[in-house]
Every structure is written in structure tokens, then in C-alpha cells.
Amino acid sequence: MTTHAAQFINGEWRLGEGAVFASVNPANNEEIWRANAATAEQVDSAVKAAREAFYSWGELAFEERLTVVKRFAELLKENSEALAVAIAQETGKPLWETRTEAGAMVGKIAISEKAYHERTGVVENPMPVGRAVIRHKAHGVVAVFGPYNFPGHLPNGHIVPALLAGNTVIFKPSELTPYVAELTLKLWEQAGLPKGVINLVQGEVETGKALASHKGIDGLFFTGSSRTGHLLHEQYAGQPGKILALEMGGNNPLIVKDVADTKAAVHDIIQSAFISSGQRCTCARKLFLPEGEQGDVILAQLLKATKAIKIGNYDAEDQPFMGSMISNNAAAGMVAAQQQLVELGGEILLELTHTEGTGFVTPGIIECTKVTDFPDDEHFGPLLKVFRYSDFDAAIEKANDTSFGLSAGLLGDNQADYEHFLRRSRAGIVNWNRPITGASSAAPFGGIGASGNHRASAYYAADYCAYPVASVELDKVTLPGTLSPGLTIE
């Protein structure tokens, strides 16, 4: 495959001037995309183009910006199958799932429009003299960094609200999913976004560093690993004027207590732990099961159902539940994580196995109750750690024993247990009798601790896309009826 013009800067597709990199289908290693990375100079051109475009884009009426964004939504709908196929080819996720991702991208537009008005609308309050008005203004030029696991939906969750608010954008996608980013940018171009309003810089870490450290950006919206997020946070220290929104990983617990329908519990556990081959930041990593008969029954059913999970190619006619992981390396990393847990005292109940040379793994379940030095790492794949408990409070305490705090859930039929769990749980998403994946775009999405920096995304993304401006206003300069003591104005 030859290189091609993959950098979208100032409304033009340009050849990158950096090193060549490629994207492969992780299921069969077929190359699907190849191009040269953007250099620091090209990143600089993108930032300058975005700055130039900001003045006119930011000053358009909201309805004018919305018109372009709605055209993008129409194009997304028309091209949703092509986009779903591209996401599936590049990530290995099955088509049934990537079709929902393409659908979520369309849904984001109406939700962001509503959030713009509700979260950042104009509010007027009368004052004894004049009125107090709250308005919101765009920050300016913002960088958006995306992860590979939802290469369409998650960057879109930053880009759409950022553009609606009036910012201009430089998008740096994951180097593992450049093809999906390119297709998405072509739709923005077709939608008629003025030149420079959105720019795409593709490349590996060097391109990311050049953008993140560029002095000309006013903000950075990041979804990705906690490790990279922490690096960015350190890099932004001492720059209080720049807005940094970090959506990072999790080490998420799911507790089961007193359920009548054990099959339903098994369903919700599988949806929580193994959807997207465990590559969702919200996935359950730790499962707390009660000691005794109920826990034994659920565990036996879970092992049986997990063993039966269908794994396969994204386009198999009989669709699999799990496709390939993102890469051979990521899959090998999961085998290493499993081995590390065994060395720490974990007991494999269902082995995670890897088809070497591909991203395919089978889901694994490992009993970790006796692991004393449990590592607080996010294992971003289909490996579920099981802990048996005798005391609910002790289970909640152990569930909270993590530096992360993204999602948590209780499967249990007793409402009082849920209310107790909700009070004690330390996470940004706390669910009851539902899987802990599949968060709603109509709610805030973010975590505490090492999972984020209190700039929740999804419905609350509007908040970090604009800053509030408070004004006290009166139509004419007017002398007050009563002057302050000691003043004489004649």
C-alpha cells in the first residue's frame, strides 16, 4: 500500500512529512491504511489555521453552526454502514457493535444541541438596577485526542460539542485507528465546515506530543489511558488558563448480592466484562460474588456461558459476541496480565488464550480472593477477576480499593442494598441491575480519582467547551437614585 494525503489542514488534504505508519486489521493483519505522520511543523500549521478560523466560526450565530453540524449528522446517517465497516475492520469489533457506534455518533448531535442550551445557555436575572446575564463563550482552539476502542463515537463526543460552542478543533486520533478518523473528517469536509474549523493531524506519539505541547492551543480534550492522561496533566501544570478535560481508564467493580434470577445476573456480568472484548473503560474488571450456594451457582453458570461466547471475524454472517482485540500486542499483554495474577496467587477458572499473531483472545476468569498484593492496574481486555465475600460492607470497601473511580455496579434485588451501595461507592457511574457498560450519552460521563479530572464528558461536555461570562447590564448609563455616602455628582 502506498502513502497518501492523510493530514487535513486548513481545508486541504496534505501529505504528512513525518515517518510512515500503517493501520492493520488486527484479525488478519491485512494493511488497510498507510500514510506519513504529521510533523511538528505541520501541527503548527494546523494550529495556525484553527486560530485563523476561530474568529469567524466563533462569531457565527449558534443556529448557523448548528446547520453545518446537522448536515454532518445527515452524512453520518447516509454513510453509517461504510463507517461501521471501517470501524470493524480497524478495531476487530463485530459489525453489530460498530453499527451501534455509528448510530451513537448520529445521536450525539441532537443530545449536544440540547446540552448546549441547557448547560451553557443564556440566563437573565433582574437586579435592583439593570439585569445580570450569564452567557458562555468558546475557549478558542482546542485539541481533541481519541482512543482506539471507540474511534468514531468518543472523539465525536468532544468534537461535536466543541464545534457547536464555537471552538475550532485539531483532532489527533489514535495511531491504531487513522482510517476511521480520515473517513469521519471527509464527512465534516462534505458537510461544508469552513476551512480551518476542523483539522486532522495523524501520527504516533511524536505527533501527539507536538500538539499537546503547542503553546497556541487553548484547551485539550483527551480520552485515553490513565498513563497518558497523567502525563498530560503534569505537562499542563502551571497553565491554569488552559482547559484540560481528561477521560481515562477504570478498574471497575461489580458486586452481586441476593438475586432471584441468576441467569439475568450472568447476562449482566458478561455484558459488563466481555463486551468489546473487554476494551471499554467502563468494563467490569472485578466481580464480587457472595460465598455460599448462590455465589457457587452464579459462578458455575458464568463459566459455562463465558466458555460458550462466540468469537469471530467482524463480518461473520453468524455474528460473534466478541471480535478481535485491537492488536496482537494488546492480546499478548492480556496473557501477561493473567500470568502475573497467577504468580500473585490467582487461580485460573477459565483461561484467557491468545491466537498468536492476531488480536484474538478467548475471555478469561480468574479467582483472586487470595491474591494479597492485587495490582491496581487497568487490564484493558476480557479478563475478569473474581473475589468471594462474606460481608457486604467488606466487599464494598474492597470494590472501592482502587485509585480509579469510573464505573461500579450492584446486581441485587434489594433496594436498601442498592441505596447503601450508592452512598458508599466511589465512582462517576454507579448502576443497579444493569450492566456497567453502555453508558448513556444523555448523562454526564466521567470518573473520579485516576479516571478523570472532574470534567465529565457526554452530556456535560458542553461545560468544558465554553466558559461562562457574567455581565451586569443596563441599557443606558443612568445615575442611581441614591448615591453612595460621601459622593456628590453635580
Ligand X SMILES: O=C(O)CCC(=O)N[C@@H](CCC(=O)O)C(=O)O
Ligand Y SMILES: NC(=O)C1=CN([C@@H]2O[C@H](COP(=O)(O)OP(=O)(O)OC[C@H]3O[C@@H](n4cnc5c(N)ncnc54)[C@H](O)[C@@H]3O)[C@@H](O)[C@H]2O)C=CC1
Q: Binding site, residues? A: 224-229
**Residue span binding ligand Y (CB under 6 A) among the ranges 100-108, 245-253, 289-297, 477-485:** 245-253
- Residue of 120, 252, 441, 453 that binds ligand X (CB under 6 A): 441
- Rounded distance, CA 290 to CA 391, Å? 8
441 vs 246: CA distance, rounded Å: 17
Give the Cα separation of 5 and 37 in Å (integer): 10
- 439 forms part of the interface with ligand X (CB under 6 A): yes
Q: Is 437 in the site for ligand X (CB under 6 A)?
A: yes
Q: Which does 252 bind (CB under 5 to 8 A by kind): ligand Y, ligand X, none?
A: none
Q: Which does 53 bind (CB under 5 to 8 A by kind): ligand Y, ligand X, none?
A: none
Asked if residue 451 binds ligand X (CB under 6 A), the reply is: no
Tell me, yes or no, if 281 is annotated catalytic.
yes
Q: Which of 281, 283, 368, 465 is catalytic?
A: 281
202 binds ligand Y (CB under 6 A): no
DSSP 176-195: T-HHHHHHHHHHHHHHTPPT
Does 208 engage in binding with ligand Y (CB under 6 A)? Answer: yes
20, β-bridge pairs: 36
Among the listed residues 101, 182, 218, 247, the single contact to ligand Y using CB under 6 A: 247
Q: Footprint of ligand X on residues 251-310 (CB under 6 A)?
A: 280-282
Q: Is 182 in the site for ligand Y (CB under 6 A)?
A: no
By CB under 6 A, is residue 450 in contact with ligand Y?
no
Which 151-170 positions form the footprint of ligand X (CB under 6 A)? 157
Select from 18, 224, 381, 435 the one that contacts ligand Y (CB under 6 A). 224
User: From CA 170, how far away is CA 372, in angstroms rounded?
Assistant: 45
Q: Are 176 and 327 in contact (CB under 8 A)?
A: yes
Residue 48: other Cβ atoms inside 10 A:
17
CB 280, min distance to ligand X, A? 3
**What would you measure as the largest C-alpha separation in the chain, in angstroms?**
90
Question: 70: Cβ–Cβ under 8 A, 6 or more apart, which residues?
Answer: 109
β-bridge mates for residue 410, sequence order: 255, 432
Cβ atoms of residues 334 and 319 within 8 Å? no
Assess contact for 381 and 354: CB atoms under 8 A: no
Strand-pair category, 123-126 with 347-350: unpaired
Binding site for NAD(+), by residue number, is 224-229
Q: Can you give the binding site for ligand Y, defined by CB under 6 A?
A: 145-149, 154, 172-175, 205, 208-209, 212, 223-225, 228, 231, 247-249, 281, 378, 380, 406
Q: Can you give the binding site for ligand X, defined by CB under 6 A?
A: 149-150, 157, 280-282, 437-439, 441, 445, 457-458
